[in-house]
Amino acid sequence: MMRNVLSMIAISLVMVSVPALAASLEPIPGSITYKGQPRTKLTKSPIGSTFNHYFTVGGYDYAETYRILPDRSLEIISRRRSDMFNFGGRGR
């Protein structure tokens, strides 16, 4: 019984810490924020709104999701890499 309780506590702690890890994604070549924040600000988009950015680098297709922060800077909140997006029209 005690072992089950400890296991559930450990799993809960891991699940709580995962969102914090996702918020710390570093830009890679092709990311909108790769060489710093963009010069233009998204002034018409609501703070907290999200949008996707798709790009190909190194033979892999990426999809990133960004969130607009209160200071109008961008934060990468998720990144997915796949051979299946096929943005560039290449057959695989």
Q: Supply the pTM of this predicted model.
A: 0.65
Torsion of CA 4, 6, 8, 11, to 10 degrees: -140
pLDDT in tens, 1-42: 666 655 666 665 555 444 444 447 999 999 999 999 998 888
Confidence grade of residue 43 (pLDDT, cut at 50, 70, 90): confident
